[in-house]
Structure 1
Amino acid sequence: MELCFVTIFPELFEKPLECGILGIAARKKAAEYHVVDLRDFAEDRYGTVDDYPYGGGPGMVMMAPPIVRAVESVRPAEEGGGSPVILLSPGGRIFDQERARELAGVRKIVFICGRYKGVDERVTDILGAEPVSIGDFVLSGGELPALVIADAVVRHLPGVLGDERSRETDSFSEERGASLDAAYYTRPPEFRGLRVPDVLLSGNHGEIEKWRDESARARTRSRRPDLWNGREKE
Structure 2
Amino acid sequence: MAPPPTAYRIVKWLLVFAALVAVAAAVVGDGTIARIIPRLPEVSFDERVILAILSLAGLLMLTVLATRLASMSRSARRVRALERATDGVVTPALRNPIMVHGLRTLFGGGLPRIGSRIAVLADLEGISLWGGAVKPRLIASAQWSEVRTIRADSIVVGDREVSVMVLRIRRGGTSAELPIALGTGRAAALTLGGADFFARLRQIKSWHRAEIAATTGSIPIIRPEQLQPAN
The structure carrying a bigger helix percent of its residues is: 2
The structure carrying a bigger strand percent of its residues is: 2
TM-score range, shorter chain: under 0.3
| Bigger CA radius of gyration | 2
Query: Under a length normalisation based on structure 2, what TM-score does the superposition of the two structures give?
Result: 0.28
